[in-house]
Structure 1
């Protein structure tokens, strides 16, 4: 993929820093980060759900945070050492710490999170402020223009 140098645009614009940062992040997208796997679903007109496969993690080992239009899901797990003399010959179940970040659009807020059968569900809703919602303006009927009659002095 081609890399575009956006630095000349930085000098000629004011207030578009966030847009350029998003473009820089999108162009440097890492495909190597694949743990934990996740789905993003639309559950309604303005409702979404992010589902992460976090098998083996308990509620206490997971944290969900939002800050400055970013959703961050972290998991920290101490590697379990068998205390009864067993030794692990193959460990295919991941027990490593992770942090997964998602960029949120404006006015998207987290409404809840739940952990069910090894899947962490994070529910999101886009709440558009009343001032930014489209509103219908009724078209009224204008009153007829008043006619002015000139009176002449006799």
Structure 2
């Protein structure tokens, strides 16, 4: 199903942004199960983030976290049998879930914990030294000789 927006004119005039348009296209689609389980995304510091998901009733061995390149997949599947139980009211959802988070470049999962029905996933952006901005010194006057350039001497208006 395509979204209400047509991105095809932008595909013709841009190069390398197809992933961005795919994400916009996916976010515009209506999916009924995208808001379960509920979650928060928090910025915990300059380069630190925390995803908190409410997954009451799941144990750590029923949850799987997988990071592949720039995607984090969180999925859960109940393993126990609930045969023989009779519910008068069932308000705690135990259905399987699958939630995908698109991560920015150089963001990786540093840890995860499950406490009081909340799954907490810690993330950190770690930009390699080679990609960090660096200050470049600008040479003046005597520095031009170091670059292999020799100032020209001019005699009586003519270049030597």
| 1:41-81 C-alpha deviation (Å, 9 max, x unpaired) | 11110000001011111110000011231111101014642
Question: CA–CA distance in 2 between the matches of 1:21 and 1:33?
Answer: 17
Cα displacement (A) at 1:128: 1.3
Cα displacement (A) at 1:13: 4.0
| 1:67-124 C-alpha deviation (Å, 9 max, x unpaired) | 23111110101464254xx522211111111111111111111111111111111111
CA 1:5/1:118 → structure 2, altered by over 3 Å: closer, same or farther?
A: same
Q: Which residue of 1 aligns with 2:148?
A: none
CA 1:138/1:29 → structure 2, altered by over 3 Å: closer, same or farther?
A: farther
**In structure 2, the residue corresponding to 1:121 is in which secondary structure?**
strand
Q: Which residue of 1 aligns with 2:138?
A: 139
Contact in 2 for aligned 1:115/1:121 (Cα 8 Å): yes
Q: Which residue of 1 aligns with 2:60?
A: 59
Q: Which residue of 2 aligns with 1:152?
A: none
Q: Which residue of 1 aligns with 2:158?
A: none
**In structure 2, the residue corresponding to 1:94 is in which secondary structure?**
coil
Contact in 2 for aligned 1:6/1:20 (Cα 8 Å): yes
Instruction: Please tell me whether residue 87 in structure 1 is matched to residue 78 in structure 2.
Output: no
Contact in 2 for aligned 1:79/1:95 (Cα 8 Å): no
Count of residue correspondences: 147
Q: Which residue of 1 aligns with 2:119?
A: 120
Give the gaps of 5 or more residues in structure 1. 150-154
Question: CA–CA distance in 2 between the matches of 1:69 and 1:140?
Answer: 40
Aligned alpha-carbon RMSD (Å): 2.6
Cα displacement (A) at 1:20: 1.8
Cα displacement (A) at 1:9: 3.4
| 1:25-52 C-alpha deviation (Å, 9 max, x unpaired) | 2322546522111111111100000010
Q: Indicate the larger mover: 42-51 or 3-12.
A: 3-12
Give the gaps of 5 or more residues in structure 2. 145-150, 156-160
**In structure 2, the residue corresponding to 1:72 is in which secondary structure?**
strand
